[in-house]
Every structure is written in structure tokens, then in C-alpha cells.
A = this chain, B = another copy of it.
Amino acid sequence: MPGIDEVARVAGVSTATVSRALSGAGHVSPTTRERVRRAARDLGYVVSSSASGLATGRTRNVGVVIPFLNRWFFSSVLEGAESTLLTHGYDLTLYNLQGGGAERQTVFEHFLLRKRVDAVIAVSLELTSSEVSRLLAMKKPIVGVGGPLPGVRTLSVDDVAVSRLATEHLISLGHRRIAHIGGDDDHNHDFHVPTNRRVGYEAALSSAGLTPDPKLHVAGDFTMPGGYASAKQLLADADNRPTAIFATSDEMAFGAILAARDLGLRVPRDLSVIGVDDHELSEFFGLTTVAQYPDLQGRLAAEILIEELNPTPAPLPDINTPLQFDLVVRSSTAPPA
């Protein structure tokens, strides 16, 4: 494992020149640069990130704090962030943390703050203001994905608008009895997504002169089996059955579609179903949905941080950047029979 001085010796220059030639900072003559490059390559030299990090104070490493790895939304965000960071020469250090707990504390104290990362992406995680301020005090840029964070640049869809859009689609098709599979409280601390989605749903109903019926709202857990169970419950009473279901995630919507089938109902003839996400399987299920783009969210988060880390950052987007979402109509919604 050769060090920089060995490269310097072989190239016949000083270590400073090697550093400059290899990092691209500072002026080095093309010939020298080439000589250094070759020496480095021949020796199989790679810089020590610890040494370089110690000298510069920058680690070229971004921490990502994320509550789930095995859910489509989250793994998509992660994938987007990872590939962007990688192409910009940054590493990604992963912290898979749910809710609070001692583990979370540990991560903050002993990892994130350890000068291990230059910046943090917090996905659907509400940092306490003390966590945020410590990070900010260390000049570590943070960007949140999935909801507003106090004093932190965040990327999020307008959940109220998303569910209003979904609900209005059903209303415009002529539906009047529209059920909603929301999220349970377990998921609510993450930026109140379930609450906001419910608000949008009820607002859309009210605007259309419909009164939200509490019986048509059930809490789900964002999973397919959860959506299945919720839908079964909503569809149990054959007389008062809704003609449409708006599920707050595509996976729950898939469950609802399967539940309808098992009850002998045809989608969309007997029941319309709409979700939120545009999950990779939504096309397969023919699910109408409101697309959000988690991979782009991850990419964008990474790009913002990279820019902020730049010595001369370009102007950055608003502190609360609203994200795009689109209605994607497929075959799970239609006018009621």
C-alpha cells in the first residue's frame, strides 16, 4: 500500500504536486500531471480517505437516515440518492432507523456527529430541533425528504393536494360513496402523511358537496395485506358498500383490488380503486394512482447537498421544495355501475 510520498518519489516531484495533480486542485503542468498519474497508477496508489479527511475536514461521505429498506418508496429514494452520490464521488453511509429509541440516539451521537459524514439526508424522519441544530452547528447540510423539518431544506409532495387529486378523480367519475384507507398512527409521526392525506380526501368530498362518512374511513398500515383487510372490512356490508376506494398507498390499493376479487366484485365495474405512489407493480395491477417519484426525490436530495457542499454553491431551491405528482389513470377506476 504505497503512500503519497512514494508516488512523489517515483514521479520525481513533491508530495504537494502529487496531491494537486491527483485532486485537480491547483495548477500543475500537463506533463507533470501525466507523470504523476502514471506513477500513481503503476504503484496502485489510492488516497487514504482518513488522511485526506483529516487534512481537509471533508469526508466525501453523506449519511442517509431512513426508516425502512424493504418498502418500495424508501428503497427507491435510497437508490436515487445512492447513484447520484456515487457519480459525484460521494459515498453513502446508511442508517436504518425507525422512530425514536436509544438506537437512534446512538446514531446521532456516535456516528453522524463523528465527523463521519459531510451531510445528511433524512428520509421521512422527523428530527428533533436539537438534532437539527447540532447538525447545523457543525455546518453539516441536511435535506429532508418526505416532509417539512424545522429549519431544514426539504423535499415533499403536498399530501393534501395529492389526496385531493385522487379523490377528485373519483368524484369526477361520478362516485359518491368513496372510502378511504388511510394510515394508522404508527405512521403518523412521520410528517403526518396519513393525517394530511385524510384532510385532502375530506376537503375534496366537501368541495363536491359530499359529507365524509367516518364509516368509510379505515386505518391501514401501508402494506398489501393491510389494504386487503381494510378493504374487506369496507366492503363487508353489501348494502352500504362504497363504489370507490382511495388508498393512501399503492400497496394497500393492490390489497384492496385482491379483496374485491375475492368478494366477487369486478374492478372497476363494481369498485374503483385508486392509490398513491405509482409503485413498480401498479402497471401490472392496472392501478390508477397518483404518481410520486421517489427515485427522483432521492436524486434531487443528493444533488442539493452536493451543491451545498460545493465551495461556491449555486443558488439552491426553496427551503420547502414542492415535488411533482401526477394522476396516472389506468384500468382500476371507472364510473360507478
Contacts and interface: CB of A to CB of B under 8 A. Distances in A.
Interface SS, A side: helix
Contact of A96 (B48, B82, B109, B281): B82
A49 B116 contact: yes
A287 to B, nearest CB: 13
Contacts of A87: 103
Interface in A94-109: 94-96, 103, 106-107, 109
Nearest to A55: B50
A133 to B, nearest CB: 12
Contacts of A225: 281, 283-284
Kindly report how many copies of this chain are found in the complex they form together: 2
Interface residues of A, number: 50
Given A46-B114, A75-B69, A107-B86, A94 B94 contact: yes
29 contacts: A1-B138, A44-B134, A46-B110, A46-B115, A47-B114, A48-B114, A49-B50, A49-B53, A50-B50, A50-B59, A50-B115, A54-B54, A61-B116, A70-B76, A70-B280, A82-B96, A86-B95, A86-B96, A86-B107, A91-B93, A91-B111, A91-B116, A92-B93, A92-B94, A93-B93, A94-B94, A224-B284, A225-B283, A228-B284
